[in-house]
Chains A and B, each alone.
Chain A
Amino acid sequence: MFMTRRQALLSSAGVMLAGLLPALPAAAQAPAATPRKGGVLTIHLGSEQRILNPALRASTGVYVITSKIIEGLVDLGTSGRPEPVLATSWEASEDGKTVTFKLRDGVKWHDGKPFTSADVQYSAMEQWKVHLNYGTTLQLYLEAVDTPDPLTAVFRYSRPMPLNLLLRALCDLGYIVPKHVFAGSNVLENPANTAPIGTGPFKFVEYQRGQYVIAERNPDYWREGFPYLDRIVWRFITDRAAATAALETGAVQISAYNGLPLADLDRLRTDPRFEVSTRGVEANVFNNTLEFNTRRKELADVRVRRAIVHAIDVPFFLENFLYGLGKPATGPIPSLSPEFFPNNPVPYPFDKAKAEALLDEAGFRRGAGGVRFTLRMVPIQNGEDVPLLATFVQQSLQQVGIRVEIVQLDIAGALTAVYRDWNFDLATGWHQYRGDPAVSTTVWYRSGSPKGAPWTNQYGWQSDTVDQLIDRAATELDPARRKALYAEFVKAVNEEIPVAMLTERPFYTATSNKVQNHHTTPRWDSGDCHDTWLAP
């Protein structure tokens, strides 16, 4: 009895000691703490992308899952710049038309076969170039990928490809999939699209549609000693309020990319159990847009467009509707992109008097009931803030005599109405900036996009100057000259303002403080988590 009592005392002391650790959050957060192996990390996802192949679908919803399983040539590291992953070094030729990548040796796919340059060639030519959204544009001038030996891949372009553009874009658009799994099959129907095979720190285990995806540690991972975690579980919770509840009860530990309602993000900011910040998401910035259909006679006049932007008090909107989670935008290139940000001021700040004056000057005086004219606005429901902005714009424009009717459509209907049928006067949605203006930003302004292509210039507006600036900048090899060209581009589009970028907003992530060593790179949530660990 005595022995058992003492044993009991000892074991309870052990329990007490273990129990003490979580009560000292400072100690748990100390950088000197040794990483603990083991544990299950649960990540929340608000929507289900259903195809787990980042070489086919470029979307943060896909990356959050697949980047832990599949790797690319490069990824953004703690320095904020592209660092070697499956590619160990690279160099570009003088004329910019050839880029040679040296690949890492000794890397194996999850099914045991070796990773070689043939996989890079296949991924680039058969998937990125043919199927990948934004990848097709990026690799438009890619002629071939030569593979002189199993560890060298040579990308040959017919037009100069700026190296900084390629490297930055490859962080998102450069995932490598195994040739031996995909070659010869119908790419879109291949079962590996929902049971991915990669070279990453975690191996795919299970995908239960509508519920979860599970991956477990890859024991043969090429980075020795990594990963720390045993498993990662991704839970699909589409109702955001439910997601907050899940985070607070510990059912999930991370919710990224504004997966929680803004009200909850604001509330959890001061909760000591969580970190709510933009740390580790600097690579992803988005704007709330206001798009004009310049086919409409009133909107064809640039003074009217400028007046409309002048009528919207963006700082008020940010402060009162978005809990201050953002700032006014100065153009399509955000301030969080130092390589390209032209450091210009907000083009049309809030000025109701000026708005009224411009509208009068353009010849649209107030008529019956104080209304000048009526516009139809289509919100493109990317997030909860889009209807809020739509309402705010409606209320703001009412003050200057423009009546706005909001047309409520679900997202497929909205995209069709705006980008295919051109059946709108105003539209509001999101513009996502992906690290380099050439990836997905300039396409909003360049003419020539066919009808029906979403998030492109379908406003009936065109400018030869802007087109030329875009084309020159896309092939300019000197980074300084590129930056200058984009500065001119921003100036030109701000002058004409066919689409107004109203707010500049980073994505917020809510992370439980149990997670260690997180958000250390600018696109961490879309990164591989190989060095993440959990405190007990």
Chain B
Amino acid sequence: MRILSLALRRLAASLPTLLLILVGLFLLLQLAPGDTVDALMAQMGGGDPAQMEQLRSFYGLDAPVLVQLARYLWRLVRLDLGFSAIYGKPVSSVILERLPVTLLLMGISLCFAFAAGMALGVLAARRANKWPDALISTLGLIFYATPSFWFGMMGIVVFAIKLSWLPAGGFEEIGTGATGLARVADIAWHLVLPVSTLALIFLATYLRIMRASMLEVLSLDFVRTARAKGLSQTGVLLRHVLRNALLPGLTLIGLQAGTMLGGSVVVESVFNLPGLGRLAYESVVQRDLNTLLGIVFVSALLVISVNFVVDLLYAKLDPRIVADR
């Protein structure tokens, strides 16, 4: 119950930010050349002005900007994300269709990046300033410096085209009707390349953070005390150091949740995954305001919740910190 009230309070505190984002984006998009009917015309390969007028009034685009904004906000208050012009469906169902893919992609990438980054960071810290450290740190930086879409493309060339080990894209094989474990395996196989691509960049950051905070904590008093008490290296590591070194990593997760969604735009493009990132890009190009604002709304909620969870975990891991600040 306490968690619930904390969550609600956090949400309430974030409302002004949410409003700022949505209104700002709405007004910004009004300045974009062309509207959703123009994009529709482009898709159809032609149209006539009468049809365009009709479509404009159908989508409510002929009303003045402030009226449209007011209508949008009024719908939002009732948690109605509106109707997608391009998809011909309510925005909420469009988003719900694409959300699982993105959540899966981001979730697995985050876990993989966190786990691998931490493991490598620990390894590097234990052999600090010797060659394994230099190797791992440089490797980490190289991953950070690699453009994700380029890495994805090269991955496709090597693993899908030349070696044929992995599929070149897509979320799963269609029309086979696989269910249960077979389907899970199929999806997993399809996600290997995209997850590696998305995770690689963040892996480097976690690696560095882990290494730095490990080094810092390893030299603190209570560690030396534990060692003096006769605890083994590994024991010390697991029991005390890890717990404290996890904290900056956790903070970073919160900060990077938003960046990851941006990164997924490109990764979903390269690997043709039906996720929110690609949907966001499409809705900018097609000027589908409702869908874009809906995605931004959902992603903002996601970032806020991730930050909230991180704060809770932080409090659990470091009893010196109280959860609601």
State the A residues within 8 Å of B (CB).
Answer: 40, 42, 47, 49-51, 57-62, 131-134, 136-137, 188-189, 193-194, 208-212, 214, 231, 233, 235, 237-239, 241-242, 245-246, 249, 251, 380, 382, 409-413, 415-417, 420-421, 432, 440, 449-450, 452-455
Partner of B287 from A137, A239, A412 at Cβ < 8 Å? A412
User: Which residue numbers of B lie inside 8 Å of A, CB to CB?
Assistant: 32-36, 38-39, 41-52, 54-55, 58, 86-89, 94, 97-98, 156, 160-161, 167-171, 173-175, 269-272, 274, 278-279, 284-287
A421 and B32 alpha carbons, distance in the complex (Å): 13
The distance from the CB of A245 to the nearest CB of chain B, in whole angstroms, is 3
One of B42, B58, B173, B272 near A237 (C-beta < 8 A): B272
On chain A, the residues within 8 Å of B271 by CB distance are 239, 242
Residue of chain B at shortest CB distance from A234: B174
The answer to whether B47 touches A411 (Cβ under 8 A) is: no
Check A209 against B89 for contact (C-beta < 8 Å): yes
Of the candidates B38, B54, B58, B278, the one whose C-beta lies within 8 Å of that of A412 is: B38
Q: When A50-B87, A413-B33, A415-B38 are in contact, do A133 and B272 touch as well, CB less than 8 Å? A: no
In the complex, A185→B50 CA distance in Å? 20
Contact of A245 among B88, B169, B175, B278 (CB under 8 A): B169
- Per the bound structure, the CA–CA distance linking A450 and B48 in Å amounts to 9
Report the Cα distance A411→B269, complex, angstroms. Answer: 18
Write the chain A residue with the least CB distance to B164: A249
Query: Provided the pairs A40-B175, A246-B168, A246-B170 are in contact, do residues A412 and B286 lie with their beta carbons within 8 angstroms?
Result: yes
- Write out the residue numbers on chain B whose beta carbons fall within 8 Å of the beta carbon of A417: 33-34
Nearest-Cβ distance from residue A327 to partner chain B, whole angstroms: 22
Q: Which residues of B contact A209 (CB under 8 A)?
A: 87, 89, 94, 97, 274
**Which of A51, A62, A211, A415 counts the most B-chain CB atoms under 10 A from its CB?**
A211
Instruction: Tell whether, in the assembled complex, residue B33 and residue A412 are in contact, meaning their CB atoms are under 8 Å apart.
Output: yes
Q: Which residue of A lies closest to B284 (CB)?
A: A410
Chain B residues within an 8 Å CB radius of A410: 284-285
Chain A residues in 8 Å Cβ range of B45: 58-61, 133, 432, 455
Closest residue of B by beta carbon distance from A252 = B174
Contact of A194 among B88, B97, B161, B168 (CB under 8 A): B88
Q: Is B43 in contact with A61, judged by CB distance below 8 angstroms?
A: yes
Q: Which of B52, B156, B168 has the most C-beta atoms of chain A within 10 angstroms of its own C-beta?
A: B168
B203 CB to nearest chain A CB (Å): 25
- A245→B38 contact, CB < 8 A: no
Given contacts A210-B98, A412-B42, A454-B38, contact A133 B47 (CB under 8 A): yes
Task: Give Cα A209 to B94, complex, Å.
Answer: 8
- Bound-state CA distance A326–B109 (Å) is 45
Contacts of B161 in A (CB 8 A): 245
Chain A min CB distance to B271 (Å):
8
Q: Contact: B34 with A413, CB < 8 Å?
A: yes
Cβ A58 vs Cβ B44 within 8 A: yes
CA distance A175 to B287 in the complex (A): 29
Least Cβ–Cβ distance between B313 and chain A, in angstroms: 34
Given known A59-B43, A412-B33, A412-B42, contact A452–B52 (CB-CB < 8 A): yes
How far apart are the CA atoms of A233 and B173 in the complex, in Å? 12
Closest residue of B by beta carbon distance from A212:
B174
A455-B88 contact given A242-B168, A412-B38, A417-B33, CB 8 Å threshold: no
Contacts of B168 in A (CB 8 A): 241-242, 245-246, 249
Which A residue's beta carbon lies closest to that of B55?
Answer: A188
State the 9 A-B residue pairs at the shortest beta-carbon distance, nearest first: A245-B168, A412-B34, A416-B34, A242-B169, A133-B47, A412-B39, A210-B274, A413-B33, A411-B42
| Alpha-carbon distance between A421 and B48 when the two chains are bound, in angstroms | 17
**6 examples of A-B residue contacts, CB within 8 angstroms:** A136-B51, A210-B98, A237-B169, A242-B170, A411-B42, A420-B38
B52/A409 in contact, CB under 8 A: no
Residue A239 contacts which of B33, B36, B38, B270 (CB distance < 8 angstroms)?
B270
Question: Of B42, B46, B287, which contacts A440 at CB under 8 A?
Answer: B46
What residue in chain B is nearest A244 (Cβ atoms)? B168
**A409 contacts B43, CB within 8 Å?**
no
Contacts of A454 in B (CB 8 A): 38, 41-42, 46-47
Residues of A within 8 A of B36 (CB): 412
CA distance A231 to B177 in the complex (A): 13
Pick from B42, B51, B88, B171: contact of A193, CB under 8 Å: B88
Instruction: Assess the B173–A251 pair: CB atoms within 8 A.
Output: yes
Max chain B Cβ within 10 angstroms of own Cβ: one of A61, A233, A238, A245 = A245
Residue of A194, A249, A454 contacting most chain B CB atoms (<10 Å): A454
Are B270 and A453 touching (Cβ within 8 A)?
A: no
A392 CB to closest chain B CB, in angstroms?
A: 23
Q: A451's closest neighbor in chain B, by CB?
A: B49
The distance in angstroms between the C-alpha atoms of A242 and B44, with both chains bound, is: 23
Residues of B within 8 A of A131 (CB): 51, 54
What CA separation (Å) do A212 and B173 show in the bound complex? 11
**Chain B hits for A413, CB < 8 A:** 32-34
Contact assessment for A211 and B52 in the assembled complex, using a CB-CB cutoff below 8 Å: no
Q: Which of A50, A136, A237 contacts B50 (CB 8 A)?
A: A136
Partner of A242 from the list B88, B175, B272 (CB cut-off 8 Å) is B272
A61 to B44, CA, bound (A): 8
Q: Kindly list chain B residues whose C-beta atoms are within 8 Å of the C-beta of A238.
A: 272
* A416 CA to B281 CA, complexed, in Å: 19
The residue in chain A whose Cβ has the minimal distance to the Cβ of B39 is A412
| Contacting residues, chain B, for A61 (C-beta < 8 A) | 43, 45
Q: Which residues of A contact B34 (CB under 8 A)?
A: 412-413, 415-417, 420
> Chain B residues with Cβ under 8 A from A382's Cβ?
42
Report the separation of the CA atoms of residues A189 and B85 in the bound assembly, to the nearest whole angstrom.
11
Closest-by-CB residue of A relative to B83 is A189
For B286, what are the chain A residues with a Cβ–Cβ distance below 8 Å? 412
Task: Quote the shortest CB–CB distance from A407 to chain B (angstroms).
Answer: 11
